[in-house]
Structure 1
């Protein structure tokens, strides 16, 4: 398929986590140098008074030219009078967040487009606290691009560091990986890891040895022809491997990571895709119940009602936030949080950074299953039985023809919502982020519309009693969108 490129670049705008765009159109070296210089200058200007560092960690994932562009970012950092520290190899984004904290740096600049298609590239900004910077920070970066003179990049030698050893050591300090590997063998549970050719490749084997099997670990900037987002349609090889290799005596579990290793999904022993809509309740039960850790639960507004039900079963405060892990991270910085998560695969823990981390999420998911001595589908069913809520979830992404179409439908969402959808009456309307419609007056039944922060997409999220009901609601919602 030939990609049709826009003839004009999109304005530099930061989305839910970073600035991203089409490589060679929106994301060019000239623009990157300006954005990186503005971001580095803002890291210095916003640094806490007690942080004397001039260092900025610079990292990258496995995308096309990500390493070369990261090296160029170092020249931009030097141009504003700061000291870049360049990773010697690609690594997951959370590894660079961790490095910023461990090294006492001003923050980190990471070349990655996360889960976006292969032709995209981007820049994430991490603060000195080890998480994504807030909206106010990125607004100031955008303002610098329009009102401040751009400092020219300064060539020079950049010191380097290997981000992997200390990061993996920190994960081992939070999860007893040797005991976990023994537990997986004893269950027994076969674990198959799909890094989707991304930056998390090799990490689970390094942590758990031969207790895991890894597929698609080689670098491929085309990610096998799919966006490196761990949705079911992008994980056919993992799903087939789980279905074909699991047995009644030794069930299998699949774990998938996104391109920069900060998101996770799973495939249960039946071969069914499990997003964080199912993993987050399991982790709440494990961290708040079995581990007995304190703190609230923070979820994105697109999160399942099952998350709320399990959290309340453990008598935990539930906070519902806009989509984007930075909103969850803000709560993690403000108060004790046992676990926070978003529908799209990002999970963070109070024992770690205010940052989503796919590898830690995978380790704790396995720890929860070993502690229960149950494979994932069995554990998930037990959780649903325990709170009396059985529901199904899915998401449909509608690609829009242009920004004008987006603006037209934004007006519809603001002024002309339907009274019913697929025969279910619209109840409460929640506008935390996009528009969420409670349907039929029952728990576990809703539809949400939200525009992507980085692509010309309208995302439709839906939870209902069963798969057929979800499909019916998504079909009705898509028809409503197209009619407007």
Structure 2
């Protein structure tokens, strides 16, 4: 087994291959050492989603932390990642741990770390924990008695869902949407957000709201190819105002308009800037990941809203949100955070904020999108993952750093940016970003242009250039 390393969104591995009780115990022990060295009388919140073995892995982590004198709060059933982050903040815990591989393949699980600020743990702290992971297991789980730890109060059950739903009701006025008569269609993708819509809008259309660790063989990733059923339902039903699809742990979101058209995270970010800065006249900065649409700058300039570009991964965005007054933050992979909520991605919260925009403005989602396009101009965005061997991946990244690529097919490079990966501009409205994945052995290609045809042509030209190196 390779050394355990954390990527942009935690540590992920294949269940029963590298993701085992033994491996999770090593990471948990390192987390416990870090907590006891950094804090006096530390406390942690641990959750899990609907992936295979989630509760078992959570209990192993809880026992190890409790054995080191750490107060541990756990849920009685699966929860979302935002529930864990919110509970860390509300309970004044020092750390959150979420057993989840987010939107990853169905045979994966993961281990996500949350800081005491209520968002992804900062990079330095993650590295400190990573460096404490031993090659040998330091503790025998069989010697740790679960019932004894419960009796002693070292491990306590707490209803994280109740804490979260109170926050939703207190801040997002769900009764406004109910009173409007508008309808929502919801796809939980068999993930841990499945109870949210049932509790808040029990009469609304919902699908894949049961526990199925195989996810019917479809990764709980809310991208177009995985959401045809939701799109078709909205198209044929004709009375749906908004479709909401969440990933496996409900921190990422994709929306659909009343015609069944997909609204990705780039458009959701633009919509929320338009609603919050335009209609509600709220103030604050916008934070956007380096791979996000370039149209964020255009709409921020339109509303005189300061824009901060960040490295990819919500750890960096979260850090900025703790230091600045932020209106909204987002990244193209589906993560959206509202500044008055948490420095954390929250797919359900973002979806309900768009629902509130529809009610408050009295306009359909399609009409609001038309207003956004009138400010930004039309654009198309695509992301493609390339599976290349390690040697080729390394060569591609070195070539990017050394400015080897001067063109991709007929697209000639006029300038580059290298905040995170390498972004090649062919014009002010056409660009390509090449970077290695922070969670999987892949090279990611991101492209944007005025039309879908041009965007796909950029992707294909880049693919031919890079694959040709093999």
TM-score, normalised on structure 1? 0.91
* Partner Cα separation in structure 2 for residue 164 and residue 478 of structure 1: 44
> Within 5 Å, which residues of 2 pair with 1:197-208?
197-208=190-201
How far 1:375 moved relative to its partner? 2.4
SS at match of 1:125: strand
* CA distance in 1: counterparts of 2:125 and 2:18, whole angstroms: 21
- Please name the residue that 1:162 is paired with: 159
Tell me, in whole angstroms, the C-alpha distance in 2 between the residues paired with 1:433 and 1:330: 16
Equivalent residue number for residue 131 of structure 2 = 143
Which range moves more in the overlay, 304-313 or 140-149?
140-149
Match 2:24 to one of 9, 32, 52: 32
For residues 407 and 58 of structure 2, what CA distance do their matches in structure 1 show? 50
Q: Which moved more, 1:473-482 or 1:374-383?
A: 374-383
Is the aligned partner of 1:77 residue 2:65? yes
Give the secondary-structure state (helix, strand or coil) at the position aligned to 1:364. helix
Question: Quick check: 1:373 aligned with 2:370?
Answer: no
Q: 2:45 aligned with 1:57, yes or no? A: yes
- For structure 1, which segment, 200-209 or 117-126, has the greater mean C-alpha deviation from structure 2 after superposition? 200-209
Alignment of 1:27-426 (within 5 A): 27-47=19-39, 53-146=41-134, 150-153=138-141, 154-156=144-146, 157=150, 158-183=155-180, 185=181, 189-210=182-203, 212-246=204-238, 250=239, 252-385=241-374, 387-400=375-388, 402-426=389-413
Is the contact made by 2:337 and 2:346 (CA closer than 8 Å) also made in structure 1?
Answer: yes
Matched with 2:414 is: 427
When the two chains are superposed, the root-mean-square deviation of aligned CA atoms in Å is 1.8
User: Aligned residue for 1:5?
Assistant: none
How far apart, CA to CA, are the structure 1 residues paired with 2:37 and 2:348? 32
What SS does the aligned partner of 1:278 have? helix
CA distance in 1, matches of 2:436, 2:79: 29
Q: CA deviation at 1:410?
A: 2.0
Q: Please report how far the alpha carbon of residue 357 of structure 1 lies from its aligned counterpart in structure 2 after TM superposition.
A: 0.7
Relative distance call for 1:436 and 1:230 in structure 2 (3 A) is same
- What is the CA-CA distance between 1:220 and the residue it aligns to? 1.1
Q: Which residue of 2 aligns with 1:17?
A: 9
Give the secondary structure class of the aligned counterpart of 2:184: strand
Matched-pair contact (CA < 8 Å) for 2:242–2:355: no
CA distance in 2, matches of 1:274, 1:45: 45
Distance change in 2, residues 1:220/1:431 (3 Å): same
Distance 1:273 1:149 in 2: 46
Determine helix, strand or coil for the equivalent of 1:30: helix
CA–CA distance in 2 between the matches of 1:308 and 1:209?
39
Rate the CA distance shift 1:209–1:290 in 2: closer, same or farther, 3 A.
farther
Corresponding residue number in structure 2 for 1:4: none
**2-structure distance, mates of 1:375, 1:45:** 53
Is the CA contact (8 Å cut-off) linking 1:16 and 1:323 kept in structure 2?
yes
User: Aligned match of 1:458 in 437, 443, 446?
Assistant: 443
Question: Which structure 1 residue ranges, 5 or more long, are not aligned?
Answer: 1-8
Task: Tell me, yes or no, if the aligned pair for 1:177 and 1:207 is still in contact at 8 Å.
Answer: yes
Q: Supply the distance in 1 between the matched residues of 2:370 and 2:138 (Cα, whole angstroms).
A: 56
Q: Report how far residue 10 of structure 1 moved.
A: 3.1
Structure 1 residues 23-60: Cα deviation after superposition (integer angstroms, max 9, x where no partner):
1122111111110121233234344xxxx553211110
Q: 1:423-460, CA deviations, whole angstroms, 9 ceiling, x for partnerless residues? A: 23212211111111111x22x32111121112112111
Q: Distance in 2 between matches of 1:145 and 1:421?
A: 42
Measured after TM superposition, the shift of residue 411 of structure 1 is 2.1
Give the Cα–Cα distance (whole angstroms) in 2 for the partners of residues 226 and 417 of structure 1. 38
| Per-residue deviation, 1:328 | 0.8
Q: Quote how far apart the aligned CAs of 1:208 are.
A: 3.1
Q: In 2, distance between residues paired with 1:76 and 1:232?
A: 40
Q: CA deviation at 1:245?
A: 1.4
8 Å CA contact 2:176–2:359 kept in 1: the answer is no
> Residues 310 and 317 of structure 2 are in contact (CA less than 8 Å); yes or no, is this contact kept in structure 1?
yes
- Shift of residue 378, structure 1, vs aligned partner: 2.4
Cα distance in 2 between the residues matched to 1:361 and 1:191: 14
Q: Aligned-pair distance for 1:483?
A: 0.7
* Separation (CA, whole Å) in 2 of partners of 1:142 and 1:280: 32
Deviation, structure 1 residue 422:
4.2
C-alpha displacement of 1:353: 1.1
Write the distance in 2 (CA, Å) between the matches of 1:471 and 1:335: 36
- Mapped to 1, the partners of 2:63 and 2:163 lie a distance apart of 26
Taking the aligned partners of 2:345 and 2:132, their CA distance within structure 1 comes to 28
CA distance in structure 2 between the partners assigned to 1:380 and 1:172 by the alignment: 26
